[in-house]
Amino acid sequence: MNNNCKEQLFKKNLIYYYDMSNNKYTIPVPTRKWTNNQLVFTCPWCFSKYKKDSSIPYKNSHHISHYHGNAGKDIDGNYGNRQPHCQTQAKEYWGLDEINYQYKLIGNNMIY
């Protein structure tokens, strides 16, 4: 993971775990229920507007939300791990195609 990605996670008050055996980063994100069957969380990478000539986000753009299915909580009150579906512009800007990562959807609290 490059330094820009790490700084962005720090700005969003998020941490990450690295699993060396699977070469995968896990990013715990706070999640809330959207409907009975869906969960929503704010993505640290994806923005609402990008400049046309490049993948740089506008300064006045905001982070967008991602939606995932609700498969129920585990013993710890979390919703499990989910594969990301970030925007193409976000992947280019942050260099996310070069890393293998997933989100851990936290349901109760963000105490690690």
Q: Model confidence over 25-52: pLDDT tens digits?
A: 999 999 888 888 888 899 999 999 888 8
Q: Where are the domains of the chain?
A: 3-106
Q: Which residue type does 26 have?
A: T
Grouped pLDDT means (10 residues each) for the chain, 112 residues: 91 92 92 84 91 81 89 78 87 89 80 52
Q: Which residues contact 44 (CB under 8 A, 6 or more apart)?
A: 8, 9, 12, 14, 27, 29, 63
Whole-number pLDDT of residue 7: 93
